[in-house]
Structure 1
């Protein structure tokens, strides 16, 4: 065992790229001392690590292992973690290292260093912190060989990730169903492309394109009433009573929507300042929406009983007890084409926020299944024309990418309101690949 560790020590010393004379001297020293040469095995788990700055302070841990069984007089030594200022590019005011000098005799097999990375809101290039493991005897570095693999670690501090621009953005997040309580419900995704007229070749007309998938807020109607006969009971030979039950009925409907929206943009007015731009556009639109709608009917609350006494023969009573209908769930598909004739698009953009609001009024062509004419063998699709109006708003904070979106759509002649509220994180299209990479490779 001693021989094996001595050979390992020689190999490690060779890896240190010492001068030939120094290496030969150390080799001779080891040979004269036989197999009783003192050494330690202290090493970081890896040669490098990476963290990213955030909008708040964060504390990260870095571990290293220690093996000092071959070190004599351990009380005379202490371990210190030193910052290599020559290879550290992150300013000292942007981080703090938490690790007190520790006596060798009190070292554990696994030790941890804690680093406080202070908050930041500015995008910057990647900075580095280099840490070295040093064993001291008194005030000087101990001349004890360390056969550990990684005596130093390079920590890469990546800049805070922000949205670089508002022209090409993807969104992934969740829908909010405010009717059933403020809670996250289901996946929301979208991809938006916004090109102002100034960003096009002829600089006359821009466009806005959006592809999305969302869920509309649940719509609940609790005004329904169900009345039924639950019993007919004889009281005497010439009288009987009919017992009626009244229950409240709840109807719930929600829709999952997939849509594509495109709108040309003609500038109406513009207001610019050194740090912000506000534009108003005339924007007719064309939109296709596929909706998968689910409805459910169920009873709720305590039933109310009503007893009606009657005179006569019970056998002549026509009313008979009725079973309570079971809860009913229906799912059906709808398709809508909306042609917006009157539309405006408002865009406010600066380094702090992006706000987009667009409203539209126009012609709607809706296609849905007529359940009265359909049967188990075939479904009858019918078309219905209407006037629609819709409004949408997107608010994006670029440093975090947090985006709030709200939408309302309804029809004039056959009202069917749809409300959508989402919370998502915006990202540049160029970074879409990072979403699908394994966590270990990020």
Structure 2
């Protein structure tokens, strides 16, 4: 009897094993069971998660599919902080690989370490059959590292770039034209004598310089009368001259300490001799209006026909200035709340202007020597980076004032790398 029972049990075991071997088992799982991701304060972070599959070649699985879902009970990160990117149900593949993409939103707040658990679920039509999945890693734990947000404000004023606009205040406040600058300010760092260094590279537009002059007599039309005479029509007009200069410059100063506040290191005063090169592209426009006292007279000479002389003219030319600031002061007040820099210089100026020549193919320049004085002020609010800048430059012997007011956004030079980065960072 006992022998018969043992025989029946053995036969059942053999039949069970045969049945199991006859049944196909599939394997669809994550390549790894853990993945560590770091948050960013500035950009969303996109990560790819690899899925591997090994499915028997059988028509039995043609209606099977699988999906990736979040295990809510084991996840500690709010659902608003992340997203699975476009992962719908996938059909079975005999042998292959898929990816699911996980998007972690940027975060400007500090946060402790979090985790997200994902799992693969298998379906036969609408019926879940995950239990037959023989994959080793049916779940994956995404560890979101502890996050310390970077405060969005300027904490170091030594290396700053600015992008913004110039203001033209002549006809009311108008924001127009690009302003840019890069300033490097290194006080007390060059040697043991605490000599500092300041460099500024900039491009701006000076305010419009408008001059209105009356009692200008001009010819506005020449009309042929005979082969040897013509009529010259003249009028008394009001002449309006408008000068606008676009400037690109480079300024360098050596800083010798004069005063530093004993209560704090925020306030500093330097003796600052300087060198500066400025290239100016100047547009000069003249308009004649309100003509009065119209007259005409006959002039001996030949013209081919009637010549109308326009009521306006425009000329564009380049100028170059080299300024050596012999007497100069540089005052700074910089702390966590504000950065203020005031610079003044007086010294020698060498200026180069285009020379008027009847031969248009010959480009020559005239040189003049003068005494210049200049003043600049920069005020930066560190949390927004908003910077207001104003400057004035003039010469003493032949006065030619240039004024400029700009509003710009300041940022550290190291932030330039972010301009060339992708919008998302993909972690494999």
Would the TM-score normalized by the shorter structure come out above 0.5?
A: yes
Contact 1:175 1:185 in 2 (8 A): yes
Distance of aligned partners of 1:315 and 1:188 in 2 relative to their CA distance in 1, 3 Å threshold: closer
* Distance in 2 of aligned mates of 1:96 and 1:113: 11
* Distance in 2 of aligned mates of 1:423 and 1:67: 52
Question: Radius of gyration: which is bigger?
Answer: 2
Distance of aligned partners of 1:74 and 1:407 in 2 relative to their CA distance in 1, 3 Å threshold: same
In structure 2, what is the equivalent of residue 364 of structure 1? 347
Q: Which runs of 5+ in 2 are unaligned?
A: 1-16, 56-60, 93-97, 226-230
Residue 384 of structure 1 is aligned with which of 367, 370, 392? 370
Q: Which runs of 5+ in 1 are unaligned?
A: 1-27, 235-239, 272-276
Asked if residue 280 in structure 1 is aligned to residue 280 in structure 2, the reply is: no
In structure 2, what is the equivalent of residue 274 of structure 1? none
In structure 2, what is the equivalent of residue 328 of structure 1? 315
Greater relative contact order (Cα < 8 A, sep 6+): 2
Paired residues in the alignment total 373
Asked if residue 214 in structure 1 is aligned to residue 198 in structure 2, the reply is: no
Asked if residue 38 in structure 1 is aligned to residue 26 in structure 2, the reply is: yes
CA shift digits 1:203-236 (9 cap, x unpaired): xx755422121123333234457843225488xx
In structure 2, what is the equivalent of residue 22 of structure 1? none
Structure 2 residue matching 1:210: 3-state secondary structure: strand
In structure 2, what is the equivalent of residue 182 of structure 1? 175
In structure 1, what is the equivalent of residue 335 of structure 2? 349
Residue 242 of structure 1 is aligned with which of 228, 233, 236? 233
* Distance in 1 of aligned mates of 2:223 and 2:371: 49
In structure 2, what is the equivalent of residue 19 of structure 1? none
Residue 389 of structure 2 is aligned with which of 406, 412, 416? 406
CA shift digits 1:400-425 (9 cap, x unpaired): 7x352514133373352342535344
Asked if residue 256 in structure 1 is aligned to residue 248 in structure 2, the reply is: yes
Q: For residue 282 of structure 1, report the CA deviation from its aligned partner.
A: 3.4
Q: For residue 294 of structure 1, report the CA deviation from its aligned partner.
A: 0.7
* Distance in 1 of aligned mates of 2:219 and 2:137: 83
**TM-score, normalization: structure 2?**
0.63
* Distance in 2 of aligned mates of 1:95 and 1:367: 63
In structure 1, what is the equivalent of residue 408 of structure 2? 423
Contact 1:208 1:264 in 2 (8 A): yes
Distance of aligned partners of 1:372 and 1:406 in 2 relative to their CA distance in 1, 3 Å threshold: same
**TM-score, normalization: structure 1?**
0.61
In structure 2, what is the equivalent of residue 170 of structure 1? 159
Asked if residue 267 in structure 1 is aligned to residue 255 in structure 2, the reply is: no
Q: CA RMSD in A?
A: 5.5
CA shift digits 1:113-156 (9 cap, x unpaired): 55444432x6x9x9675553342789997451459999565656
In structure 2, what is the equivalent of residue 294 of structure 1? 281
Asked if residue 96 in structure 1 is aligned to residue 96 in structure 2, the reply is: no
